[in-house]
Amino acid sequence: MADLAHQTTRAPGRGGARKGTRPGRPAPVPARPPRRARLLRGLTPWLFLLAPLALLITFTYVPIVNMVGYSFTDWDGVSPELRYTGGENYRELATRPDLFEVFFVSGYYLAASAVQIVAALYFATILSFNVRFRNFFKGVLFFPYLINGVAIGFVFLYFFQDGGTLDSVLALFGVHTDHAWLGTPVSANTSLAGVSVWRYLGLNFVLFLGAIQSIPGELYEASELDGANRWHQFRHIIAPGIKPVLTLTVILSVSGSLAAFEIPYIMTGGATGTETFVIQTVKLAFQFNKTGLASACAVVLLLIVLAVTWIQRRLVPDDRVDLT
Amino acid sequence: MNRRTALAVAVGAALLAAGCTSTGSASKGADAEAPDDPAKVSGTITVLTQRTDLVQSGRMKKYADAFNQTYPKVKVEFQALTNYEAEVKIRMNTENYGDVLMIPAVIKKSDYPKFFASLGAVEERSEKFRFTGFTAVDGKVYGQAPIGVMPGFVYNKRIWREAGVTDWPTTPQAFLTALKAIKDKTDATPYYTNFAAQWTLSSWTSVNGAVHCDPKATDRLASGDPWAEGADLRVGDTLLHDIVKQGLAEKDPTTTNWELSKPQLAKGQIATQWLGTWAIVQFQDAAKQAGVNPDDIGFMPFPAQTGGKFCSTVSPDYNQAVNVHSKNKEAARAWIDWFTEKSGYDKDNLAISPLQNAPLPAVLKPYEDAGVKLIELDDTQGAKVKLIDNESEVGLYAPDYRLDLVDLARGARKGSLDDFLGDLSEKWTAAQKNVGP
């Protein structure tokens, strides 16, 4: 999730892709400053980078390197002794197809993210025009993303309970179901994926909204003069204008679907066929104390996500937007 | 990967090489001697505990105050960990894991001497205390449980009476018949799995030993097939399967709620749950809060008899141990001894005392009347069973396979019970071979 948050702050700027004149290099200084001053000037950016780099290295790269290290051992997570077993964990992964069956569950989340992107795009487009209460609706849509994932898990357990919120709401409309929402694998996975859409819709929505609002307003005016309706505007101005953000969102959604974790973990703990690859990894590490094998699983997931991203980048190259 | 990332990875690798994971420095074989003179022991000890509720309610503080009457110079501080197992496990990679702690299940028995100071020899301690075998390595004991627990069905006596069942069922079949009577004659849910809480299902493993009244039941797990025809776990798992299959459990197990299940059972909306003696006190409290009679909470053994007698296994709760790196081992030892023998913690929990000659708690009076035989499982092979369990990924002490079992029974998963248990046997026996003797 850290990645997502990271992207939030960056993406609108990228989506903007506004053309402007870059400030040129400062005029050359006539006399070279003394050596110490030059050294200091060279060091300054690094001094600023010191804190973020230290954090990045300590909390991202060192753990990754450690994890890769553990993936070649038979460590149980606590014992003071660990043996290097070479590629044994990877061999086990390759010879146990049952460990990859759980990826079918990701299909539900993948389908859900398609729904999520379309919905987010729809809302972002509508709310970028002048609509009454638009700021209120923006808030409503973004709000779920601000809630802690654990809280969401617990809230939706009540929601799906027999005679819970969902059943009561349906009863208001005269639909009296007697359906255990988390009872069968299909129904449970669909419900969980639905929760995931509810939660992450706001994030996609904000990304799209930012990108859409960075499209110059004159374009709409001009198109209206030419007789374009809302759909034409979306088709020829908005869609191409936010293409980089759209690609980015798709990449995030695919990797997010492969690594779905907290909602199913909290709500069902992987029961009733809702186990995802990450839940399985966590169980290997903390339930069966196979930290080595679990690290190997994590490395493989990382590689799969990288590969998917790379393929996507190949299929949809990230070109510059030019609306003029 | 761009240049900056490559640089960062290189730096990370260098840091790692510089020795982030220094392991294997643990000292080994220290003893925590019992102090001779209580007045002279001094120091501050940190006690790690999983009982967050008791720390918050100030009950633990009261124990510490009582302790200070005998040991005035020892200061006891508590650290309550919500997710005890996981948090302690990580802390145990350092030397800083309190002075007194509960031994987490993840620690291999053979590693005990590396992590904990010994409390004394087995022969000497076993005369006075129960459960010494569970933490013994090479004749030395490394932990002591302050209470013992016994698995069993917590049930609502009133509902069972209303259904016309007054005697404890003696076979699984009779038990199912009784549940059916409850379903037909009362409004209560006959059995509540507490599926969503998950750990409630892993406690079905403690059926082991009770069915055939066999103190060597753990050995059978280590060398035999736990799901062979007639084996303890097969009997237990089949009963759980049949309860769910015959519709005697709650309608939607996936959204059950542990906290709510307590008042529901007390009020008679739920008739039965498989838990342990430790739960009785919680259900009685729930009854008091709900304004119903706490005496309605009953406790019964697994429906199986050997030689005309019920049998029940008694096992230790978390074992308390002294950190081998502790600076105040005497004070820590004093706390463990005092807490085990004099604190009254066992009575407060209506639990079985860790002292060999102590009487059963009053709530188990029916057990005495029915002549239930209490056995303590021999844990010599306990470490090996855990190894096989992890290697096979069956999860005897984890909920997973029983979650699948319940799903199978209620039709959310395809297959037959025989295939399912056969599959478990296969995984288990294959892992037995890998683990070796």
Q: How far is B423 from chain A (nearest CA, A)?
A: 14
For residue B368, pLDDT beyond 50: yes
**Cβ separation B12–A81 shorter than 8 A:** no
Q: How far is B368 from chain A (nearest CA, A)?
A: 37
Provide the pLDDT for residue A320: 65
In the 8-state DSSP scheme, what is residue A57?
I
Provide the pLDDT for residue B197: 87
For residue B347, pLDDT beyond 80: yes
For residue A71, pLDDT beyond 80: yes
A166-189 mean pLDDT? 88
**Cβ separation B9–A272 shorter than 8 A:** no
- Chain B contact for A171, CB < 8 A? no
Q: Which of B86, B108, B252 sits opposite A79 (nearest CB)?
A: B108
Provide the pLDDT for residue A4: 40
Provide the pLDDT for residue A5: 40
Q: Among A62, A84, A92, which would you mutate to test the B interface (most chain B Cβ atoms within 10 Å of its Cβ)?
A: A62
**A319: confidence class by pLDDT, cuts 50, 70, 90:** low
Model pTM above 0.90: no
* Phi, psi angles (nearest 5°) of residue B357: -100, 10
Length of chain A: 324
Residues near B83 by beta carbon (within 8 Å), at least 6 away in sequence: none
**In angstroms, rounded to a whole number, what is the distance separating the alpha carbons of residues A299 and A67?**
8
**A15: confidence class by pLDDT, cuts 50, 70, 90:** very low
Provide the pLDDT for residue B380: 86
pLDDT digit string, tens, across residues B377-386: 988 888 899 8
Provide the pLDDT for residue B379: 87
Q: Above pLDDT 70, what percent of chain B?
A: 93
Q: Average pLDDT of chain B? A: 88
- Chain B contact for A273, CB < 8 A? yes
In the 8-state DSSP scheme, what is residue B109?
G
**In angstroms, rounded to a whole number, what is the distance separating the alpha carbons of residues B43 and B332?**
9
**In angstroms, rounded to a whole number, what is the distance separating the alpha carbons of residues B216 and B113?**
25
Give the pair of three-digit tokens for residue A6. 């990271």
Provide the pLDDT for residue B7: 46
pLDDT digit string, tens, across residues B315-345: 999 999 999 999 999 999 999 999 999 999 9
For residue B172, pLDDT beyond 80: yes
Q: Among A192, A287, A303, which would you mutate to test the B interface (most chain B Cβ atoms within 10 Å of its Cβ)?
A: A287
Helix pair B232-245, B417-435: axis angle to 10 deg: 150
Contacts of B24 in chain A (CB under 8 A): 80-81
Which has more confidence, A272 or B13?
A272
**C-alpha atoms less than 13 angstroms from C-alpha of B51 in its C-beta half-sphere:** 19
- Chain B contact for A190, CB < 8 A? no
Residue B309 neighbours by CB distance under 10 Å: 13
Give the pair of three-digit tokens for residue A274. 């809702």
Q: Among B254, B257, B264, which would you mutate to test the A interface (most chain A Cβ atoms within 10 Å of its Cβ)?
A: B254
Provide the pLDDT for residue A30: 59
**In angstroms, rounded to a whole number, what is the distance separating the alpha carbons of residues A209 and A203?**
10
For residue B435, pLDDT beyond 90: no
In sequence order, the β-bridge partners of residue B45 are: B76
Residue written as tokens 């993406």? A11
pLDDT digit string, tens, across residues B233-259: 999 999 999 999 999 999 888 888 888
**In angstroms, rounded to a whole number, what is the distance separating the alpha carbons of residues B251 and A180?**
8
Q: Which of B16, B398, B403 sits opposite A69 (nearest CB)?
A: B16
Residue B162 neighbours by CB distance under 10 Å: 17
Q: Which of A81, A182, A290 sits opposite B254 (nearest CB)?
A: A182
**Cβ separation B400–A272 shorter than 8 A:** no
Name the residue in chain B with its Cα closest to that of A66. Answer: B16
Please say whether the beta carbons of B322 and B336 come within 8 A.
Answer: yes
Provide the pLDDT for residue A37: 85
Name the residue in chain A with its Cα closest to that of B412. Answer: A184
**Cβ separation B20–A188 shorter than 8 A:** no
Q: Above pLDDT 90, what percent of chain A?
A: 47
**Cβ separation B252–A157 shorter than 8 A:** no
The SS3 of residue B102 is strand
**In angstroms, rounded to a whole number, what is the distance separating the alpha carbons of residues A174 and A159?**
18
**Cβ separation B410–A273 shorter than 8 A:** no
Contacts of B395 in chain A (CB under 8 A): 287-288
For residue B19, pLDDT beyond 50: no
- Chain B contact for A285, CB < 8 A? no
Please say whether the beta carbons of B420 and B405 come within 8 A.
Answer: yes
Residue B276 host element (H or E): strand B270-276
Contacts of B86 in chain A (CB under 8 A): 286
> Left, alpha or beta for A77 (phi > 0: left; psi -120 to 50: alpha)?
left
For residue A14, pLDDT beyond 60: no
CATH superfamily of B43-146+318-343: Periplasmic binding protein-like II (3.40.190.10)
Same fold, B43-146+318-343 and B151-314+378-435: yes
**In angstroms, rounded to a whole number, what is the distance separating the alpha carbons of residues B16 and B24?**
17
Residue A237 neighbours by CB distance under 10 Å: 19
Name the residue in chain A with its Cα closest to that of B389. Answer: A288
B252-271 mean pLDDT? 91
**In angstroms, rounded to a whole number, what is the distance separating the alpha carbons of residues B129 and B376?**
12
Name the residue in chain B with its Cα closest to that of A60. Answer: B12
Residues near A126 by beta carbon (within 8 Å), at least 6 away in sequence: none
pLDDT digit string, tens, across residues A73-90: 998 888 877 889 988 999
For residue B286, pLDDT beyond 50: yes
**In angstroms, rounded to a whole number, what is the distance separating the alpha carbons of residues B123 and B107?**
24
Q: How far is B365 from chain A (nearest CA, A)?
A: 37
Name the residue in chain B with its Cα closest to that of A153. Answer: B255
Residues near B340 by beta carbon (within 8 Å), at least 6 away in sequence: B129, B144, B145, B146, B320, B354, B355
B139-162 mean pLDDT? 94
Name the residue in chain A with its Cα closest to that of B10. Answer: A61
- How many degrees, rounded to 5, is the angle at CA B424 between CA B419 and CA B429? 125
Please say whether the beta carbons of B273 and B200 come within 8 A.
Answer: yes
Cα diameter, chain B: 78
Please say whether the beta carbons of B285 and B363 come within 8 A.
Answer: no
* Phi, psi angles (nearest 5°) of residue B171: -135, 160
Pairing label, strands B43-49, B120-121: unpaired
Q: Above pLDDT 90, what percent of chain B?
A: 64
> Left, alpha or beta for B164 (phi > 0: left; psi -120 to 50: alpha)?
left
**Cβ separation B412–A288 shorter than 8 A:** no
Provide the pLDDT for residue A323: 62
A179-194 mean pLDDT? 91
Between the CA of residue B202 and those of A74, A155, A278, what are the distances in Å?
Answer: 26, 25, 22
Provide the pLDDT for residue A27: 54
Provide the pLDDT for residue A324: 58
Provide the pLDDT for residue A8: 39
Which sequence spans correspond to the domains of chain B? 43-146+318-343, 151-314+378-435
**Cβ separation A180–B24 shorter than 8 A:** no
For residue B22, pLDDT beyond 50: no
Provide the pLDDT for residue A318: 66
- Please give the CATH topology (third level) of the domain spanning B151-314+378-435: D-Maltodextrin-Binding Protein; domain 2 (3.40.190)
Provide the pLDDT for residue B113: 92
Judged by average pLDDT, the poorest of A23-27, A166-170, A186-190, A203-207 is: A23-27
Between the CA of residue B27 and those of B23, B321, B323, what are the distances in Å?
Answer: 11, 16, 11
Judged by average pLDDT, the poorest of A116-130, B21-35, B45-59 is: B21-35
For residue A11, pLDDT beyond 50: no
In sequence order, the β-bridge partners of residue B373 are: B311
Length of chain B: 437
In sequence order, the β-bridge partners of residue B313 are: B375
Helices (H) and strands (E) in chain B, counts: 19, 16
- Chain B contact for A92, CB < 8 A? no
B81-94 mean pLDDT? 87
Highest mean pLDDT of the ranges A3-17, B63-77, B81-95: B63-77
Residue A101 neighbours by CB distance under 10 Å: 13
B249-272 mean pLDDT? 92
For residue A19, pLDDT beyond 60: no
**B31: confidence class by pLDDT, cuts 50, 70, 90:** confident
Q: How far is B431 from chain A (nearest CA, A)?
A: 13
**Cβ separation A273–B412 shorter than 8 A:** yes
Q: How far is B21 from chain A (nearest CA, A)?
A: 8
pLDDT digit string, tens, across residues A224-266: 899 888 889 888 889 888 988 998 899 899 989 998 999 999 9
**Cβ separation B21–A69 shorter than 8 A:** yes
Q: Which of B13, B93, B400 sits opposite A78 (nearest CB)?
A: B93
Provide the pLDDT for residue A1: 37
What is the CA A126 to chain-centroid distance, rounded? 23
pLDDT digit string, tens, across residues A21-30: 445 555 555 5
Q: Average pLDDT of chain A? A: 85
